[in-house]
Amino acid sequence: MTAADPQMLARISRLELRARSVVEGVLSGLHRSPHRGSSVEFAQHRDYVPGDEIRHIDWKVYARSDRFHIKQFEEETNLRATLALDASASMEYKGERSALSKKEYAAVCAAALASLFLRQRDPVGLAIFDEGVRQFLPASSTPAHLRILMQSMEKAESRPKTGLGNTLHDLAERMKRRSMALVFSDFLDDPSEILRGLQHFHHKRHDMVLFQVLDRDEIEFPFKDAARFEGMEGEEAILLEPNALRKQYREALHEFTEKLKKGCQELNYDYVLLPTDEPADTALARYLAQRSTRNK
């Protein structure tokens, strides 16, 4: 399938529309990071874009040019980000209450954040992964880069296995400069391997945000009738009585997510649960507001 394929172009257009809708619902705030805020040394001006804080407008420049410009300081020029999208088979799951699969929902959120980064002139890259990093696009801040990122996300075909440990180790080495990684995955993998990967990122002094994308079915396990459950990554099918297992399943999932949260907290990384039945703009706006408040 080529980039000019009509079906591919239609899918990219849908992703662009969804991402634009999400961006419009997110007020602002992503441009704060742990790498900023301590320096007050002026670096440069840049054009004002909707969402910028008015207090950063240089009114003297406006008086001379009749155009709005934002003052940037030295630390404000250093944010680089890489979005990492899980394209393993488990991300294809879509329950009855969700309009999008986990993979589609993750791509919309990633595209929206990429748009916000690029509006702020921050370089953003992309990694597509399953058992390891399958595709890696270095960070760029050019206007055309967003379309390239979206095209790569839409072209990414799902593959059977997840390997988050290998992925995180590989990604930590590929990101040569101090950066932020935003990882979108269901994280249904060995938690000890995931935590070792996070330690590698911490050692490289990268920032990290884990977005755990789960369908509401996976959170609540609402199934009632006995059924044959098939794993989406090659696991053996088993016959289960859901009512007998619901409590045990929820406890196991809670223990798993708490282990991830604790590992992130110890490294000062963010953990965010994204249920796919929640509007993406609502979920992202809530997280960005919390992060903005925390970093003030």
pLDDT digits (tens, 9 = 90+) for 143-156: 889 989 989 998 88
Helix (H, G, I), strand (E, B) or coil at 116: helix
Q: Do 290 and 149 share a domain, yes or no?
A: yes
Q: How many domains does the chain have?
A: 2
Supply the mean pLDDT for the chain: 81
Q: Do 157 and 278 share a domain, yes or no?
A: yes
> Using an 8 Å Cβ cutoff, are 110 and 272 in contact?
no
Which are the contacts of 28, defined by CB distance < 8 A and separation ≥ 6? 51, 52, 53, 288, 292
* For residues 254-281, average pLDDT: 94
Q: Do 68 and 199 share a domain, yes or no?
A: no
Q: How far apart are CA 64 and CA 61, in angstroms?
A: 5
Q: Tens of pLDDT along 210-231? A: 999 999 999 998 888 766 666 6
Residue 160 lies in a domain: yes
- pLDDT at res. 232: 55
E-strand ranges in 113-237 read 124-129, 133-140, 180-185, 207-214, 227-229
Q: Do 19 and 131 share a domain, yes or no?
A: yes
Q: Do 17 and 108 share a domain, yes or no?
A: yes
Domain, as residue range, for 87: 6-31+79-294
Q: Do 27 and 49 share a domain, yes or no?
A: no
* For residues 100-106, average pLDDT: 94
**Low-confidence winner among 10-19, 27-36, 173-182, 286-295 (lowest mean pLDDT):** 27-36
Q: Do 149 and 256 share a domain, yes or no?
A: yes
Q: How far apart are CA 119 and CA 121, in angstroms?
A: 5
pLDDT band at 24 (very low <50, low <70, confident <90, very high): low
Residue 186 lies in a domain: yes
pLDDT band at 158 (very low <50, low <70, confident <90, very high): confident
Q: How far apart are CA 215 and CA 102, in angstroms?
A: 7
**Low-confidence winner among 43-52, 58-67, 167-176 (lowest mean pLDDT):** 43-52
Q: Do 202 and 247 share a domain, yes or no?
A: yes
